[in-house]
Amino acid sequence: MKLNTEPNIARPDDFYEALIELHRGLSEEQSRQLNARLILLLANHIGDMEVLGEAMAAAKEEPA
């Protein structure tokens, strides 16, 4: 498996709206904790250490 960095969410605006709504009313600390739990859940779903390593390296890169 290889990290897919191409657009792959059927309705990205709906996802973004749901993600923002998920954080509504949370403190900054609660929001950070929620993000950490979400990351761990998604990483567990992916389950492939090579893909996770690629994702971590890509996330660390400075945006262009």
Instruction: Output the pLDDT for position 64.
Output: 65
3-state helix, strand, coil in the chain (%, to 5): 65, 0, 35
Question: For the chain, give me the number of helices (H) and strands (E)?
Answer: 3, 0
53, part of any domain = yes
Distance CA 54, CA 3 (A): 6
40, part of any domain = yes
Q: Which domain holds residue 28?
A: 12-60
Number of folded domains that form the chain: 1
pLDDT digits (tens, 9 = 90+) for 11-57: 999 999 999 999 999 999 999 999 999 999 999 999 999 999 999 99
